[in-house]
């Protein structure tokens, strides 16, 4: 029996899963290849799945994209390469709730857009990207859905804490979540992330009314906490469900701030 050995292109795909625990073929194509490479990527994913370097999850419906995560051999391979990957328990990945996958893939899209921003804004670099599913392995208190460390030029740091709102959380638990984030930002954030830079981006694909509700709930919670001054940390924005231009997402004035009607970008030069 011939043992399959990952080639350079395979390694690039496998290493993506150290940052993004679950990915679709389209997302992998966006991260590594040109738009016309879908068939090539599909063939690579098929081979890696057959050799148990990757595992393909059952689809919600026939119209839903296949989602991949590391398989037994892929986990072992990355661990041998020095990646901090937890042991794989295949039973954990047999099936996931549809909302979990939709939320995870929406977080992916936001983080992927962040990773692509330097290709159109040459003065911006991305120092680090963290996904909540990896943050949860080391951080047990308040965990963002994603965290991005942008650098503008040589001196300016802009760190974005992502909360991806799918429109399913009611007012009371949402307000409790805001209170816990504000408390974390005052006491533990700098120690955990090594920086005081913090912009809390609450992104929702659930429409304008949801964005309005989110702003109202944040304002009520900050008022009750007597923490209105914390409003400057927050940016609330609607995002499309399909791929969005990185420059538009991060540089265009499409974010609202509590207690303010001025539209702002996520990253201000």
Q: pLDDT tens across 169-181, in order?
A: 999 999 999 999 9
* Report field, pTM of the whole predicted structure over 0.85: yes
| Whole-number Å distance between alpha carbons of 52 and 75 | 10
Q: Is beta strand 156-164 parallel, antiparallel or unpaired with respect to 199-204?
A: parallel
Over residues 71-83, the mean pLDDT reads 88
Q: How confident is the model at residue 115 (pLDDT cuts 50, 70, 90)?
A: very high
At the second CATH level, the architecture of 8-96 is Orthogonal Bundle (1.10)
- Of residues 89 and 1, the one with the higher pLDDT is 89
CB 202 within 8 A of CB 169: no
Q: What are phi and psi of 2, to 5 degrees?
A: -85, 125
* pLDDT over threshold 50, residue 1: no
Question: What's the pLDDT score for residue 244?
Answer: 79
Question: What's the pLDDT score for residue 2?
Answer: 43
The domain defined by 100-251 folds into Restriction Endonuclease (3.40.91)
Output DSSP code: residue 51. T
CATH 3.40.91 spans which residues of the chain?
100-251
Q: What is the mean pLDDT of the chain?
A: 91
Over residues 16-43, the mean pLDDT reads 93
Over residues 256-269, the pLDDT tens digits come to 999 999 999 999 87
Instruction: Report CA-CA distances (Å) from 73 to 5, 7, 122, 173, 179.
Output: 10, 14, 38, 40, 42
CATH 1.10.10.10 spans which residues of the chain?
8-96
Question: What's the pLDDT score for residue 141?
Answer: 80
């Amino acid at each position: 029996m011939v043992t399959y050995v990952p080639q350079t292109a395979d390694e690039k795909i496998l290493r993506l899963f150290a940052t993004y625990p679950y990915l679709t073929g389209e997302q992998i194509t966006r991260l590594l290849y040109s738009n016309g490479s879908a068939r090539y990527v599909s063939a690579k994913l098929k081979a890696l799945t057959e050799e148990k370097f990757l595992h393909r999850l059952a689809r919600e419906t026939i119209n839903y994209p296949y989602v991949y995560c590391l398989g037994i051999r892929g986990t072992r391979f990355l661990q041998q390469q020095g990646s901090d990957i937890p042991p794989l328990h295949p039973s954990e990945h047999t099936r996931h709730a549809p909302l979990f996958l939709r939320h995870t893939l929406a977080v992916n899209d936001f983080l992927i857009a962040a990773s692509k921003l330097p290709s159109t804004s040459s003065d911006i670099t991305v120092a680090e990207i963290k996904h909540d599913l990896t943050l949860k392995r080391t951080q047990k208190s308040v965990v963002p859905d994603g965290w991005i460390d942008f650098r503008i030029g040589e001196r300016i740091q802009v760190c974005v804490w992502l909360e991806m709102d799918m429109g399913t959380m009611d007012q009371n638990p949402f307000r409790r979540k805001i209170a816990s984030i504000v408390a974390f930002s005052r006491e533990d954030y700098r120690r955990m992330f090594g920086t005081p830079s913090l912009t809390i981006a609450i992104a929702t694909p659930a429409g304008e009314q949801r964005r309005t509700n989110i702003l109202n709930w944040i304002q009520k919670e900050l008022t009750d906490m007597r923490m209105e001054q914390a409003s400057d940390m927050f940016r609330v924005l609607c995002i499309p469900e399909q791929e969005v231009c990185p420059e538009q997402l991060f540089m265009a004035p499409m974010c609202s701030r509590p207690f303010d009607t001025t539209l702002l970008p996520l990253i201000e030069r």
